[in-house]
Amino acid sequence: MASSAALKTFSDLFGREKGVVIGMIHALPLPGTPRNTLNLPDIVAEACKEAEIYRDAGVDGIMIENMHDVPYLHSDKVGPEITACMTLICDKVKTVCGSVPCGVQILAGANTQALAVANAAGCDFIRAEGFVFSHVADEGLMNSCAAELLRYRKQIGADSVRIFTDIKKKHSAHAITSDVSIVETAAAAQFFLSDGVIVTGSATGCSASPEEVNSVQEAMELPVLVGSGVTTENLHQFINANGLIVGSYFKHSGNWMNGVDSGRVKQFMETAISLRS
């Protein structure tokens, strides 16, 4: 169970300790990426439109991600144009959201860039890949970044930006750490000063294992977030996790590539509020 200090930081940010719902904004393909067709003002406008839907539905947090930028560049290949675009998008979304906490993730594994964006745009947290240990992702080998990332956070004066970190993350092979359990991975993330760990299923939209989530939560002194596959139907299995990052389910037809469906968001939040009572 998370310690009072870790939970206080988390609950101070989101206004509650458990069942925090974070809605995903998947920014449309950014300039310079293979699927880009829109100019940046139009991309920003669509992100802000989705932010309004989330805000009005009463989600507890919002996170912006460049998920349409497929195929993803490895962390050190993500250029300044992506960082610049994401900074503008996050700044405008943050303005729309008001007091709703906002976060950012930049694929793939571009954690220092995400931290720079969050610091410049006034975001509250980032989602970081590859924080501890190594794994093989779609983009290639991802190595631990904790030491460099936390030093960078200190150097740019971004200590208030929380870093929530994936463990045994989706879209990855973990054979090289097959002798390290998910609880042991979470313990390493805690030792390396993560602000919270994220448990996922095997891919976007695939449910995490409730048993794994519970085992990590029981062992850790950190907030535990569920990072994929949460739906209205299985929400009761995950509502006691500290956070629920929801993307695919909030989209039209439950497909992450589509826009946010206000009806699905409202229905989900009604269920979440009922279960949290």
Cβ neighbours of residue 267 under 8 Å, at least 6 residues apart? Answer: 232
Identify the DSSP state of 260: B
Average pLDDT in the chain: 95
**pLDDT reported for residue 184:** 97
What is the pLDDT averaged over residues 177-182? 95
Higher pLDDT, 22 or 171: 22
Least Cα distance to 197 among 179, 211, 183 occurs for: 183
d(C-alpha 190, C-alpha 251), whole Å: 32
CA angle 261, 82, 159 (to 5 degrees): 90
Checking if the pLDDT of 2 tops 90, the result is no
- Tell me how many helices (H) and strands (E) the chain has: 9, 11
The percentage of residues in the chain with a pLDDT greater than 90, rounded to a whole number, is: 90
Residue 30 contacts residue 43 (beta carbons within 8 Å) = yes
pLDDT in tens, 88-133: 999 999 999 999 999 999 999 999 999 999 999 999 999 999 999 9
pLDDT in tens, 34-55: 999 999 999 999 999 999 999 9
Residue 97 contacts residue 51 (beta carbons within 8 Å) = yes
d(C-alpha 9, C-alpha 98), whole Å: 20
Please report where in the chains the tokens 């947090």 appear, as a residue: 61
Checking if the pLDDT of 151 tops 60, the result is yes
Checking if the pLDDT of 1 tops 90, the result is no
Res. 170 pLDDT band, cuts 50 70 90: low
Res. 165 pLDDT band, cuts 50 70 90: very high
**pLDDT reported for residue 6:** 82
Checking if the pLDDT of 143 tops 90, the result is yes
Cβ neighbours of residue 8 under 8 Å, at least 6 residues apart? Answer: none
Res. 203 pLDDT band, cuts 50 70 90: confident
Which pTM value belongs to this model?
0.96
What is the pLDDT averaged over residues 211-223? 95
Residue 110 contacts residue 79 (beta carbons within 8 Å) = no
